[in-house]
Amino acid sequence: MQQLIDDLKSIPGVIGAFVYHPSEGVRSNNLPPLFKNERISEMAKGLMKITAAGRHNFHDLSEIFLCYEESSILCRQLTGSNFLVVVCDPEINFNVVNMSLNLAMEEVNSRIAAQELKSTPIAKTAPLAPPVISPAAPPQPVVATPAAAPASPSPVGNISHELEVMAQNLSKFLGPMARIIFDDAVDLWSQGRTPSKSDLPALLDSLCQEIGDPDKSKHYRELVREQLPSSGI
């Protein structure tokens, strides 16, 4: 992530950037030392408030941009609950910085999604901040997935291990898009019923269709069966 915000810093007019997570604080930062960590965190909290207020009115909010006399701040949500905050010169061209960010963030989003797939179990709690639909980040479904409804009993809670295994293996075939496709598939699959182990073959079939390639689908099916021998798949 550090490398990526360093790339952003190379855009003319960009003073520096950082990635902020509402519960974990500042994750990466390349702002000049003049910007103290405590102040950066305070700024990020303010930006979270503005983003939340904006999203309350505009569900399709893609980013916020604050301009002061001698500096400006752009805040955009990455995948998950990570926010990218870029501090720029005030005269920076909004369109130029946007386009540059879109390009850079395609890579940022892919890397973060890949990292989260590797390190995050599927039943992780939902993000603290509401998701913002970013032009560079495809919207993530928020219904009927184990990750999206931690507060109430999940309809798929008793098979969360099986789902986790299926999601993790899917990432080997679909990369960063795996989680999004998996969530979509689970959403469709669990509609109108309380899924159980006996329903898992239907989900597996649906995921194999998403993979698209017969050989890869076969391989995926075998991997899941190996790792879930008692699931009835």
Partner 1 sequence: MTGVDLFSQHIGQIKGVENFMVLRHDGHMLTHNMSQPEKMSSLATLTGISAQSIQKTMGFTPFRYLVFAREHNQSLIIFTLDKFYVGILAKTGFNLAELIEDIAKFLVKIKVKRNPGNSPKEEEE
Tell me which residues touch partner 1 (CB under 8 A): 35, 39, 42-43, 46-47, 49-50, 53-54, 56-58, 60-71, 73, 90, 93-95, 98, 135
Shortest Å distance, C-beta 208 to partner 1: 33
Round to whole Å and give the CA distance between 64 and 72. Answer: 11
| Angle at CA of residue 110, ends 55 and 84, nearest 5° | 45
In the complex with partner 1, the residue whose CB is nearer, 55 or 179, is 55
Long-range CB pairs of 58-63, under 8 A, 24+ apart, other chains included = 59/133, 60/133, 61/132, 61/133, 62/132, 62/133, 62/134, 62/135, 63/98, 63/132, 63/134
Toward partner 1, which CB reaches closer, 23 or 95?
95
Q: Is 153 exposed, middle or buried (0-12, 13-18, 19+ CB in 10 A)?
A: exposed
Name which of 72 and 190 has its Cβ closer to partner 1: 72
Nearer to partner 1, 73 or 224 (CB): 73
Tell the smallest beta-carbon distance from residue 152 to partner 1 (Å).
29
Minimal distance, residue 30 CB to partner 1, in Å:
16
Smallest separation (angstroms) from partner 1 to the CB of 44: 9
